[in-house]
Amino acid sequence: MSEDVRLRDVETADLEVFLAHEHDPEAARRSRFAPREREAFMRHWTTRILGDPAVHVQAVTVDGDLAGNLVAWWEDDRRFIGYWFGREFWGRGIGSRAMELFLRQERIRPLHADPFHANTGSVRLLERHGFQRAGTVRHGDDEHILLVLHSPPARR
């Protein structure tokens, strides 16, 4: 049975779910991203993500249920992509289908990603969508893999 994966604009009510996803201990361990306190999280999302017209963000739904989000933003002169999914949606191909849909919308290239080196699922997801290894970067004490997508997806 195929699950219906869709993208839509983020709604304010989605932020509570995204906050819960960020506070999942296994997700924090895999991403090496320290969960923020609620106020800092909400301020970040309302000002730096939803409040910035240069940021492209989409909520991901599966059969109508909120599963996570994908975001593209500028960091100096580089465009980055990031994503976060609730654990109950891991390992079902949802991230891959959502990434395909998002990359059709987000046409800016090159597009960068820098997952934690031990987050093999995230690295594989990006590589399956054409991202290529371009070195490593450090965030604090942690090594992350720098991946770059150079070409936009072919039109279907």
Q: What is the pLDDT of residues 94-113, one digit of tens each?
A: 999 999 999 999 999 999 99
Q: What average pLDDT does the chain have? A: 93
Which residue bears the tokens 């219906």?
4
Please work out, in degrees rounded to the nearest 5, the angle formed at the alpha carbon of residue 34 by the alpha carbons of 29 and 38: 125
- CA separation, residue 124 to residues 15, 38, 60, 113 (Å): 27, 30, 19, 12
Q: Assign 32 a pLDDT band (cuts: 50, 70, 90).
A: confident
| 3-class state of residue 15 by DSSP | helix
Within 10 angstroms of residue 8's Cβ, the number of other Cβ atoms is: 11
Report yes or no: 33 and 18 within 8 Å, Cβ to Cβ: no
Lowest mean pLDDT among 8-12, 129-133, 148-152: 148-152
pLDDT recorded at residue 142 = 87
Q: Is the pTM of this model over 0.85?
A: yes
Dump pLDDT digits (tens) for 41-80.
Answer: 999 999 999 999 999 999 999 999 999 999 999 999 999 9
3-state secondary structure of 23: coil
Residue 33 — very low, low, confident or very high, per pLDDT cuts 50/70/90?
confident
Average pLDDT, integer, range 8-33: 94
State the Cα–Cα distance between residues 115 and 40, nearest whole angstrom.
22
